[in-house]
Amino acid sequence: MEVITAKGPVSASNLGLTNSHIHLVAMPPAWLYKTPTFSNDPDYALTDVDKAVQELKYFLKSGGKTAVDATCRDYGRNPKAIKYVVEKISEANLILVTGFNRGIYLDKWYYETSIDKLAEFFSNEVEEDIEGTGLKAGLIKIGADYMRILPIEKKCIKAAANAHLSTGAPILVHTTLGTMALEILEILEKEGIDPANVIFYHVDRNLDPWYWEQVLERGSYITLDQIGKIKYGPESKRIEFLVEIVRRGYENQLLLGTDFARRSDFKSYGGGPGLGYLFEKFLPFAKKVFKSEGIEENIVEKFVLHNPSKAFSIKK
Ligand SMILES: [Zn+2]
C-alpha cells in the first residue's frame, strides 16, 4: 500500500502519527472578502510561508509526522509557497489535494471546462505534478453546499470520480455543516466508486450518531476535524461521541484532524491552539476518557495511525 505525498509515493506503513485535515498556506478568493462572512478579515489570509514552516515544527515536536493539507485551487492554494514549506521541512510528509472545495468558490474555468478535461486536470495533478512545482496531489477533493448539491458541484464531482477511477487516489469530501454526505455517496456510487475509497470532512458539525452510522455502514471514513474549535463545542462532547461510534462498531473508519484555517488558530501567528494541539492535548484526553468508559485506550491511536494509512492509500 502506498500513499502519494507532495514529494511522491511513500509506504503507507511509514506515515506515522497523522493529522487528516490541516491548512498551511491559503489566500481565499478575493471576492470572498466582499461577503459579510469574510468582510475584509485578514484572519483568513494564510500567506506567511515562514510561519507555516514554524507551525509544522510545532507539529513535528508534538509527535506528528504526516498531515493532509486540504487547500484546493478554488480556495486559494499556493503551490509555490507549499513547495517552499516542503523543502524546508523534510521530516514531515504532506499530502496535498487536487479537485475542488465548494461550488460557491469556483471561478468560471470550472464552468467552461468539460467533465473530461476537468478529470484530466485532476488526474494530472496526481500522476504528474501541480502547476509545474514537481509536487503531487495524493487525494481528490470534492464538496457540496449546505443541504443541497449545486449543478456545478455535480459536474465537478463526476470529473473527480473519473479521476479517481484512473488514478486510484482516494476521494475527500467537504460537507457543509455535515450535510449531504449520503447524497454525495449516491452520486459517487452511480459513477462506480467504492464508498470505502471516500473520506468525509466536517461531519462533526452534525454530531448525530444515526446520521454517522448511515455513512459508516456504507464503508466510508469520517474525519472528526473540528478538534480544537471550542467555539463549535467542547472536546468532551466530541470524545463521548467517538466512544458512542466505537461502541457501534466503527473504530476502523474514524480519522482525526484540526481544520484550522485562520491566522488566529496558529501559534506561529500569535494565536492558538496550533498544530501541536492534536497530539499534545486532545489525544491524551481522549485516551483518558476511553479508559474511564472501559474501552481499550489504544483504539484512539488507530484514528491517527492505522486508519489514515488505509484511508489515504492509492486504490489500484
Ligand atoms: Zn479545511
| Segment 157-189, tens digit of pLDDT | 999 999 999 999 999 999 999 999 999 999 999
Q: How far is the centre of ligand 1, averaged over its atoms, from the C-alpha of 294 (Å)?
A: 33
Average pLDDT of the chain is 95
- List CB contacts of 196: < 8 A, sequence separation 6 or more: 219, 220
CA-to-CA distance for 141 and 35, rounded, in angstroms?
Answer: 24
In this predicted structure, what is the pLDDT of residue 241?
97
Amino acid making up residue 308: P
- Got the DSSP string for the chain? -EEEETTEEEEGGG--SEEEEE-SSB---GGGGGSTTTTT-GGG-B--HHHHHHHHHHHHHTT--EEEE---GGGT--HHHHHHHHHH-TTSEEEEEEE-S-GGG--HHHHHS-HHHHHHHHHHHHHT-STTSS--EEEEEEE-BTTB--HHHHHHHHHHHHHHHHH-PPEEEE-STT-SHHHHHHHHHHTT--GGGEEEESGGGS--HHHHHHHHTTT-EEEE-BTT-GGG--HHHHHHHHHHHHHTT-GGGEEE-B---SGGG-GGGT-SS-TTHIIIIIHHHHHHHHHHTTS-TTHHHHTTTHHHHHHTS---
Per-residue pLDDT band for 43 (boundaries 50, 70, 90) equals confident
57-77: pLDDT as tens digits: 999 999 999 999 999 998 889
In this predicted structure, what is the pLDDT of residue 292?
97
Is the model's pLDDT at 34 over the cut of 80?
Answer: no
Is the model's pLDDT at 33 over the cut of 80?
Answer: no
Give the CA count within 13 Å in the CB-facing half-sphere of 15: 31
- Burial (CB count within 10 angstroms: exposed 0-12, middle 13-18, buried 19+), residue 50: exposed
Are 138 and 3 in contact, with CB atoms under 8 Å apart? Answer: yes
Q: How far is the centre of ligand 1, averaged over its atoms, from the C-alpha of 256 (Å)?
A: 13
Is the model's pLDDT at 40 over the cut of 70?
Answer: no
Residue pointed to by grid coordinates 500567506? 47
Residues with CB under 5 A from ligand 1 (ion): 70, 259
Q: How far is the centre of ligand 1, averaged over its atoms, from the C-alpha of 165 (Å)?
A: 24
Residue pointed to by grid coordinates 491511536? 301
Q: How far is the centre of ligand 1, averaged over its atoms, from the C-alpha of 186 (Å)?
A: 23
- List CB contacts of 39: < 8 A, sequence separation 6 or more: 33
Taking residues 223-241, report their average pLDDT: 96
Structure-block grid coordinates of residue 68: 493532509
Q: How far is the centre of ligand 1, averaged over its atoms, from the C-alpha of 112 (Å)?
A: 26
pLDDT greater at residue 76 or residue 7: 7
Q: Domains of the chain by range and CATH?
A: 2-311 (3.20.20.140)
Are 183 and 175 in contact, with CB atoms under 8 Å apart? Answer: no
Taking residues 92-98, report their average pLDDT: 98
Partners of 186 in beta bridges: none
Is the model's pLDDT at 84 over the cut of 70?
Answer: yes
Per-residue pLDDT band for 316 (boundaries 50, 70, 90) equals confident
Q: How far is the centre of ligand 1, averaged over its atoms, from the C-alpha of 100 (Å)?
A: 11
In this predicted structure, what is the pLDDT of residue 27?
83
Is the model's pLDDT at 124 over the cut of 80?
Answer: yes
- List CB contacts of 121: < 8 A, sequence separation 6 or more: 98, 113
CA-to-CA distance for 116 and 178, rounded, in angstroms?
Answer: 29
Is the model's pLDDT at 38 over the cut of 90?
Answer: no
CA-to-CA distance for 310 and 197, rounded, in angstroms?
Answer: 9
Is the model's pLDDT at 285 over the cut of 70?
Answer: yes
Q: How far is the centre of ligand 1, averaged over its atoms, from the C-alpha of 238 (Å)?
A: 18
Taking residues 119-126, report their average pLDDT: 98
Structure-block grid coordinates of residue 78: 499556493
CA-to-CA distance for 156 and 67, rounded, in angstroms?
Answer: 25
Per-residue pLDDT band for 82 (boundaries 50, 70, 90) equals very high
Nearest to 297 by CA among 242, 249, 255, 253: 242
- φ, ψ of residue 207 to 5 degrees: the values are -80, 75
144-160: pLDDT as tens digits: 999 999 999 999 999 99
Are 140 and 174 in contact, with CB atoms under 8 Å apart? Answer: no
